[in-house]
Structures are given as structure tokens and as C-alpha cells.
Chain A
Amino acid sequence: MVERSRYYLDFEKPIIELEQKITELEGLAKKEKLDFKEEIKILQSRLKNLKESIFANLTPWQRVQLARHPERPKPLQLASFIFEDFLLLHGDRLYGDDQAIIGGLAKIENEGIVFIGHQKGKSIKENLSRNFGMAHPEGYRKASRLMSLAEKFKKPVVTFIDTPGAYPGIQAEERGQAEAIAANLEKMARLETPILVIVTGEGGSGGALGIGVGDRILMLENAIYSVISPEGCAAILWKNQEKVEEAAEALRLTSQDLMKLGLIEEIIPEPLGGAHKDIEQTAINIKQAIIRNLSELKDLTLPELLEKRYEKYRRIGKFKRK
């Protein structure tokens, strides 16, 4: 069944139109009891080709749009497919309960883990309470508290990244946005349990990194991860916010680019047409990646794990020798 999308990107338009045509034809066949099997088969194969040709040649900016797609599955939704059991926990024990970062206990293949993720909203209303997935310091401090819990009970940590960035606001600064992120970087570097990081949507700079240091960094195929938004980069570099396509290109923010740069360990494939076209399949792909990576990390002794984590980051950097 092809569901009618409520929202689509410009480059998705021909796909959506063809999908609608197929739906109409199927409806007509049913209603009029006519046999359109051959016609539908032809259209479906045309649809597959169309998707393949569009998605084989995505530009970095198109991937940015996919990563931010309003219908893209968000961490909580993915978690509901991936984990057999799941309990959200709340609050940083210091100030509040930031809705832009969620976390709690979960089970995958009967193995207990601590799950942490950014959470954007799906509707305007939800986005207001989730602050569009942009966390305040209390979000990072909630994550920190949950990581301590994971460490104490020897549970691996799995984090899902999907944020435009840490929230740029007065209260966020007053409560120490920089300190909260810095503290997490330090903590995650030495946390005595495996950490698996998966960028599922938008990896927005320091706000993403604040729950993003780990033993392995994975990215969904169309996720992005960038030091600055393409809009911000365009404004600085070309003094023109509309040069986003050039900026997206220059920043090397796609999963493919980051794999080539050696900054991530693995790309998790998405269903044809993007994660939002088949959320369940996306979740299955993520689940398999989690199970495999955690079982590999479990084979390491704690000193090995921590040494490898240190070395992984220690090697990052590209320079010339004088």
C-alpha cells in the first residue's frame, strides 16, 4: 500500500505523482472490477526505476533535505520498532526534564541497554514542546545521568542523533550550554561501558556531539553530520543564505563523505526513496547494525575498549608535515 505523503520535497515530486497514479489505478480496478494488472506492473517498474535514478544521484543538499524531512522517522518512533521493551526516564535531577533529549532503559535481543536520543516533533505542537530537537543544558545533563546509570549496571549505551543543534537562547547560556556539552564529551570519552552512536537524521554540530562520542559512529545513509548548518556556512562564506547547495557540498556532511574521511565506521542503508518511505525496514536495518556492533564491542575487555576509543579519536586530524 502506498500511503499518500502529507509532505514531499521538490525532487520527490515525480515519485509522489507516479505513486498517486498507481493508487488511483488500483482504486479504479477495484471499483470497476477491471483488470489493470499489466498496466500497474509497468507503472510499478517505472516507479522503481524513477526512484533509483533520483536516489542514485542525490546531491548533498538533497540529502540535507531528506535528513530534515518532516516525515523522516524520529528516534522515539524508531525505538518503538527496534526495542522489545522500552521505558523512558525523566529529568536531570538539577533543573528540569528537557523534552528535546529523551532516554531510558530498553531491551534489544533480550539484552539490556540504555537508550538516549534527540527528539524532534512531528507536528507544530509537538515541536514546541520538543523545541525542534534543540536541547538546553538540562537535556545534556539528563543524558549524562543516564550514562552514569548505564555504567553502573554495565549496560551499553546506544544514542540516536537528530538535532539541528543545541538551543541558541539566553537561558541555555545562563545554565551553561557549553559546560554541559563539554562535560559530556569528557564523560563519554572515559565511560566504562560500550557506546554506540547512530546519526539517524540531522547531526547538528556540538549539539549532536554532546551525546555523540562513542566506540563506533554509524550513520543512516541519508543522514547528515556537520560542523555548521549549510545556511550558516553560506551566510559566512558567500554572505548569502541562499547558497546552501554550494555550502552543503563544501562541508562534506553526507554519510558517504564522512566514511571517506574516516570519521564514521559504518553506513546503514535506507529503503529506496529514503527512511520515511519504509519506516519498519529502516528500523530493521538499524536493529541489525546495533546487534552486530554491540556483540563485537562486547568481545573487548574494558581496558581494550577504552584504549580503542581513545585511539579512534586520537588519530582524527589531517595535516601536512613541514
Chain B
Amino acid sequence: MGWFERTYNRIKRSKKKVDIPDGLWTKCIKCGEIIYNKKLEENLRVCPQCGYHFYIGARKRLEITLDKDSFREYDSVITSDNPLNFPHYEEKLEKSRKETGLDEAAIIGEGRIGGKSIVVGVTDYGFMRGSMASVVGERITEAVEKAIEKRYPLLIISGSGGGARMQEGMISLMQMAKTSAAIARLKRERLLYLSLLTHATMAGVMASFASQGDIILAEPGALLGFTGPRVIKQTIRQQLPPGFQSSEFLFKHGMIDLIVKRDEIRPTLIKILNLILPGF
């Protein structure tokens, strides 16, 4: 778990370090290129030099994926409690709320892609590493049920390196079963479920709804898998092969359909919807 923490901190820190002098430039984490921030934003926060995909939050993700101004968020009246009275949980939640402007790690709603109506859910790696506890599990399930009710296709974009959130213990683990049961219903209704994996998606989320897509897409260079690399390294006491658990690694091993660059995601989704949905 510490590994992801470090990755994310690094993202934030490096942004700060380079941003603060004039707020105009960002140094690429991967190639070291100094990128003009405006240029980085125009490029959907992808390094123009090496193609490194920077973290983007859930709101930005929706904005660049859906038809302009088509997103309508589902009202959510639920917010995280601390059911186990787990140490420091409220502080962690508060910190994530401040950092992301979100109330929890998932946003759900509906919108259009290429004119086609779709139910969409996004988990945000910036909010407690996108981990799933009661609220995330409930919202994802609500999104699936809405898709069934409206007979819309479903798109879930995962950025959940934290897996099942430790702070809600077994309640979190059971969200894997809950969301999976909802996805099973969706599929029985012969509705389309597209899963897009982004950095990072691991453990309890990767081992539930994120891996259950009819079609699974991933951004390049994302960390994807079940057990975190640090734990694997500790267990087997061996160096991990280069590129281990990257999107490219999963692709090579047959776990995902396509690796899609950020600027190609929208056209790819439109293409899939056009090819698979009846009518129009």
C-alpha cells in the first residue's frame, strides 16, 4: 500500500515543487521534460514528449470523455461514516475531500458519448487512492441499477489503487460482492458494460467490477493488478520484471482488450458504441 501512497505523493509533490515558482510549468515525472502547464492541459495532461499520462481527477475525466455539458450527476445523499470507529479515518476523509473537492472517491451519473446516452461511474485515485468502502460500493451499485432501469450502456472508469478500503474492514470487502452481483444482473439483461482502467487500479476493485467489463480498455502505463508490487517483492524476495503490472503487461497476458491513449479514448468509446449498440 505504501508504494501507491508514494506514487501519488510524488505526483502531488512534483507538481508543487515545479508549479510554485510561477505556476506555469510542470516537470514530467517520467522523462523530466519541463512542460508549459497550458500546453499540458491542452494535451489532456499527457506529456507531449514521452506520452506519460498524468493523474486527472474524476470531474476532469468526465469532461474529456462525455459530450460537452451532457453530464448529469446522480444526487447522492450518502456520505462516509466511520462504522468501525477506525483510527484516523475521519481525518483521512477530510483531507481527501479538501484535496479533491469531492465528497467521496466515486461520482456517478449519466451523459452522452457521441450522442448516445450512457450511465457512467468514475473512481478518483486522488481520494484515498480511489479505494472502495460503503459509499463507493453503493454508488457503483446504484449506477449499475440505473443502467438496468434505463437500459443504457454502462461505463465505469476506475482509478482505484487502494482496492477495498481498510478503514471499513469487512464492510469494504463485501462491496466487491455487492458490485459484482449488480454487474451480473446487468449482463443477464444483455446490457453493455465497458470498463476503463486508469492508474492505478488494484486489489479489491481490480478483483471485482473493474475486471468484469464486456470490453476492457486501459490507459497506457497504468499500474494494474491484484497484489501491490511492494508486497509481491517482499513475499518472493526477487526483483520484479520491468513493466510488471503495467497496462502493457496485462495486455500481453490477455487481460485487456485495448490500450488507448487519453486523446483516443472518446473516439474509441464512440466506435465501440456504434459497433455494438443496435439502431441509430
Which of A168, A210, A250 gathers most chain B CB within 10 Å?
Answer: A168
Closest to B103 in A: A322
Instruction: Pick out which of these stretches binds chain A: B33-41, B51-59, B113-121, B199-207.
Output: B199-207
Tell me which residues across on chain B come within 8 A of A178, comparing CB atoms: 202-203, 206-207, 210-211, 224-226
A227 near B: Cβ within 8 Å?
A: yes
Tell me which residues across on chain A come within 8 A of B87, comparing CB atoms: 237, 250
Tell me which residues across on chain B come within 8 A of A11, comparing CB atoms: none
Contact A322 B170 (CB under 8 A): no
Tell me which residues across on chain B come within 8 A of A176, comparing CB atoms: 211, 253-255
Tell me which residues across on chain B come within 8 A of A25, comparing CB atoms: none
B68 near A: Cβ within 8 Å?
A: no
Q: Tell me, rounded to whole Å, the shortest Cβ–Cβ distance linking B80 to chain A.
A: 6
Contact A319 B227 (CB under 8 A): no
Taking a contact as CB atoms closer than 8 A, the residue among B168, B183, B235, B249 that contacts A169 in the complex is: B235
Tell me which residues across on chain B come within 8 A of A212, comparing CB atoms: 177
- Chain A stretch 303-322: residues in CB contact (< 8 A) with chain B: 309-310, 313-314, 316-322
Per-residue CB proximity of B79-100 to A under 8 Å, as 1/0?
1110110111000000000000
Contact B253 A175 (CB under 8 A): yes
Contact A177 B227 (CB under 8 A): yes
Closest to B164 in A: A227
Taking a contact as CB atoms closer than 8 A, the residue among A185, A190, A226, A252 that contacts B176 in the complex is: A185
Closest to B80 in A: A319
Interface of A is mostly: helix
Contact flag A182-B81 (CB < 8 Å), given A170-B236, A173-B226, A263-B171: no
- Chain B stretch 169-219: residues in CB contact (< 8 A) with chain A: 169-178, 180-185, 187-188, 202-204, 206-212
Contact flag A181-B169 (CB < 8 Å), given A320-B79, A321-B77: no
Contact B227 A317 (CB under 8 A): no
Q: Tell me, rounded to whole Å, the shortest Cβ–Cβ distance linking A187 to chain B.
A: 8
Instruction: Pick out which of these stretches binds chain A: B10-18, B240-248, B272-280.
Output: B240-248
Q: Tell me, rounded to whole Å, the shortest Cβ–Cβ distance linking A43 to chain B.
A: 41
Contact B181 A310 (CB under 8 A): yes
- Chain B stretch 229-280: residues in CB contact (< 8 A) with chain A: 231-232, 235-236, 238, 240-241, 244-245, 249, 253-255
Interface of B is mostly: helix
A85 near B: Cβ within 8 Å?
A: no
Contact B178 A316 (CB under 8 A): yes
B137 near A: Cβ within 8 Å?
A: yes
Q: Tell me, rounded to whole Å, the shortest Cβ–Cβ distance linking B118 to chain A.
A: 21
Contact A313 B232 (CB under 8 A): no
Contact A322 B134 (CB under 8 A): no
Per-residue CB proximity of A162-174 to B under 8 Å, as 1/0?
0000101110111
Tell me which residues across on chain A come within 8 A of B203, comparing CB atoms: 178, 206
A213 near B: Cβ within 8 Å?
A: yes
Contact A227 B232 (CB under 8 A): no
Contact A250 B178 (CB under 8 A): no
Q: Tell me, rounded to whole Å, the shortest Cβ–Cβ distance linking B95 to chain A.
A: 15
A251 near B: Cβ within 8 Å?
A: yes
Contact A316 B174 (CB under 8 A): yes
A143 near B: Cβ within 8 Å?
A: no
Task: Give A320 to B202 CA distance when docked, in angstroms.
Answer: 27
Contact A314 B178 (CB under 8 A): yes
Contact A166 B138 (CB under 8 A): no
19 extra interchain contacts, Cβ-Cβ under 8 A, other than A251-B170, A320-B80?
Answer: A170-B236, A170-B244, A173-B249, A177-B227, A178-B203, A178-B206, A178-B210, A182-B207, A182-B210, A225-B170, A236-B1, A236-B166, A314-B182, A316-B137, A316-B177, A316-B178, A317-B135, A321-B78, A321-B79
Q: Which 6 pairs from chain A and chain B are nearest by CB?
A: A185-B180, A189-B181, A168-B227, A182-B211, A317-B134, A318-B83
Please give the residue numbers on chain B whose beta carbons come within 8 Å of chain A beta carbons, in ascending order: 1-2, 76-81, 83-84, 86-88, 134-135, 137-138, 141, 163-166, 168-178, 180-185, 187-188, 202-204, 206-212, 224-227, 231-232, 235-236, 238, 240-241, 244-245, 249, 253-255
